[in-house]
Structure 1
Amino acid sequence: MQQPLILAPEKKRSQTNTSDEKTDQTQSHTNGISGGKSATTPQTHRFDLDFTQSVINATGPKASSRMRKVMASLIRHVHDFARENEVTVEEWMAGVEMINEAGRMSTDKRNEGQLLSDIIGLESLVDEITYKLATDATDAPTSTAILGPFWRANAPARKMGESIVHNIPDGDHTFMHGTVMDYLTGEPIEAAELDVWHTAPNGLYEQQDENQVDFNLRGRFTTGKDGRYNFYCLRPTSYPIPYDGPAGKLLQLLDRHPMRPAHIHFIVSAPKYKPIITQIFDRRDKHITDDAVFAVKESLMVDFLRRESDPKADFELPYDFRLATFEDAKKNSLAGTTEESASFGADVVHGSGGH
């Protein structure tokens, strides 16, 4: 029988004097960063700090350098977290069950684990770290944003000018158009693919809604020599992230709302260019400054314009995507991932051995 996610009740913690409490708020420079032992604070000094280093030292000689570095840091931070908060067995089990439930709910159509990382801002932080860009510059590549849990592989390839809207009579139909270009030269990029998806007016992606046809409001478009693209979609609406799983339960425990501002997802890729994963947001949405997953960036806010003399659309949305070549990305520190970090991710997912 499934148990609800309920943290253990508040318990009395060990008493510390005023000076200890002030000291406890200061983090040691070795805490989770250097190769030294975990930081000692008045609240944690009662526990065996050598235990953490013993766990780290158990890593075998065949582990890759990246695996060794990342896992040592993770173990150190997690152990410090447990000691600092004096986590009980009941609380630990609640956390484990939350992770287990996220795994049980995840499918090829929904990633609950990713949703959990979204609501604590982790995916947005990793996005910032991976794709650190000088977004204030006029010639910067298009800013990135999180993938989110509802992307689906193998969306249907569609012709330019086609609509991704099927069997949805309501909603504000929109003509979106623009150019995919090189961020340095401004030259159009041929054979760039735009993978696009967004929710229906009811706030649901097609895999969440049995009344929508398969791959509704999704499509892949490929540019010609002029680098231009155009298609019909809907002006998106704000919506709540799913409340029926552990991510929703955690939001409730944190007394937080689940709303996301209206947005359209894109993955834009082209030969010899670094792909971007991004979202563009309706500037006028009431949740634009309070996104439940912290993904909004000023450079990704857009204005939907009234469209005249088009029976298929009431609005239009012009938007250009700027990509960097792999060479330019590496040269300008925009590469995002290294060969070693990419290998680390593949090892974790596929269970490969060390290097």
Structure 2
Amino acid sequence: MTTDEREAERALTEQVVASFANAEDARLRTLMQSLVRHMHAFVREVEPTEAEWMAAIRFLTATGKMCDDLVRQEFILLSDTLGVSMLVDAINHRLATGATDTTVFGPFYIEGMPERAYGENMAFTPGTPALVHGRVLTTLGEPVAGALLDVWQTADNGMYSGQDTAQPHGNLRGRYRTDAEGRFAITTIVPVSYPIPTDGPVGQMLRATGRHPWRPAHLHFMIKAPGYRTLVTHLFDKDDPYLQSDAVFGVKPSLLVAYGERSAGDELARRFGFSGDYREARYDFVVDESATP
């Protein structure tokens, strides 16, 4: 490449950057100008052929076509598998406050799931029965009464209700509230590891790059309470084989729980209606009361 050619390419970048100079929204102006600089730098670094650039455009077009308003969000999946979702999460939770660690939201949340009573069973499909319980606390260790825990997980077949239309509506989903002592209790099944959807562009990318699509077993939680920052996190089974190679890089050591074996007829079984052996996991969430909700 000649010096003139290099200067012409740089001049093009600056011309595009300057085109956003009159954007009234200062944050939008910063975002667009930075996007241009970084994208142009990427193109100069890898020097794609025109065919490769068109393949990238087709990939993004196909990604958009795999999205819908309710269940499938392929762009979130792409962001997750590139580690961008976890990087955004890390940037937005840099201050160490003592609150529970956050992790990715994921593409399979559904709004408006049923409110469930303390200890109510949210599993309408078979699996290993489990009790997940604990407390929601402030960073000072005080109970948060009336906190709303929005919970969702896959069935034993590795699919979420909504994603799997054969599952009953609201299966393995529910909204639970803490009692006056900040306690919550969820009857469910032990979560299983599962592959993220691979029938779209993200799956093609994983196969082409020799990556597996598996996520370690987990429950999703979104915890809200007035005056507290919303907490989006998971609880992971500490014995899952995919903890070190999560396809979306979402595992944090502080979010691991053990599903201990419990016997039919013990005190918890009588209280929560387990007729046979079951598993128990306990975890106390800590929400940040110093930030705005």
The residue correspondences of 1:127-138 to structure 2 (distance < 5 A) are 127-134=89-96
**Conserved? CA contact 1:47–1:83, under 8 Å:** no
CA distance in 2, matches of 1:250, 1:160: 42
* Counterpart for residue 112 of structure 1: 74
**Aligned residue among 192, 197, 202 for 1:237:** 192
SS, match of residue 230 in structure 2: strand
Counterparts of 1:305-324 in structure 2, within 5 Å, are 305-308=260-263, 309=266, 310=269, 311-312=274-275, 314-324=278-288
Please give the alpha-carbon distance, in whole angstroms, between the structure 1 residues aligned to 2:60 and 2:170.
28
Corresponding residue to 1:175 among 125, 131, 141 = 131
CA distance in 2, matches of 1:209, 1:148: 16
AA aligned to 1:118 is: D
> Is the Cα contact below 8 Å between 2:23 and 2:29 reproduced in 1?
no
CA shift for structure 1 position 244: 0.1
Q: Which amino acid aligns with 1:300?
A: L
CA drift of 1:219 comes to 0.3
Q: Which residue of 1 aligns with 2:249?
A: 294
Tell me the amino acid that sits aligned with residue 124 of structure 1.
M
Q: Residue 221 of structure 2 aligns with which residue?
A: 266
The letter of the residue matching 2:241 is: K
Tell me what 1:4 maps to.
Answer: none
Cα contact 1:165–1:234 (8 A) shared by 2: yes
Indicate yes or no: 2:112 matched with 1:154: yes
Length, aligned pairs only: 282
Q: What percent of counterpart residues are identical?
A: 41
Hey, what does 1:101 align to over in structure 2?
62
Q: Distance in 1 between matches of 2:59 and 2:118?
A: 43
SS in structure 2 opposite 1:94? helix
Rounded Cα–Cα distance in structure 2 between residues aligned with 1:294 and 1:261: 10
Q: Give unpaired runs (5+ residues) of structure 1.
A: 1-13, 15-41, 336-355
Aligned runs of 1:69-108 on 2, under 5 Å? Answer: 69-107=30-68, 108=70
Helix, strand or coil for the counterpart of 1:91? helix
Matches within 5 A, 1:193-212: 193-212=148-167
Contact 1:133 1:140 in 2 (8 A): no
Matched residue SS, 1:179: strand
Instruction: Give deviations 1:37-73, integer Å, cap 9, x for gaps.
Output: xxxxx9x937510111111111153431111111111
Which of 46-55 and 262-271 deviates more? 46-55
State the alpha-carbon separation in 1 of the partners of residues 24 and 35 from structure 2.
Answer: 15
Asked if structure 1 preserves the Cα contact closer than 8 Å seen for 2:239 and 2:258, the reply is: yes
TM-aligned CA deviation for residue 133 of structure 1: 4.2
Which one-letter code corresponds to 2:63 in the other structure? A
CA contact (8 A) 1:133 1:143 kept: no
CA–CA distance in 2 between the matches of 1:302 and 1:238? 14
* Residue identity opposite 2:34 in structure 1: S
Q: Distance in 2 between matches of 1:180 and 1:116?
A: 32
- Unaligned ranges ≥5, structure 2: none
Q: Once structures 1 and 2 are overlaid, which stretch shifts more, 236-245 or 310-319?
A: 310-319
1:122-146: CA deviation from partner (whole Å, max 9, x where unpaired): 0011111111243xxxx71000000
- 8 A Cα contact 2:152 2:174, kept in partner: yes
Q: C-alpha displacement at 1:288, in angstroms?
A: 0.8
Distance 2:64 2:116 in 1: 33
Q: Which amino acid aligns with 2:85?
A: E
Greater share of strand residues, 1 or 2?
A: 2
Q: Distance in 1 between matches of 2:22 and 2:287?
A: 40
Hey, what's the Cα distance between the residues in 1 that align with 2:151 and 2:278?
Answer: 20
* TM-fit CA distance, 1:159: 1.0
Pick closer, same or farther for the CA change 1:72–1:60 going to 2, 3 Å: closer
For residue 100 of structure 2, give the secondary structure of its aligned residue in structure 1: coil
Aligned CA-pair RMSD: 1.9
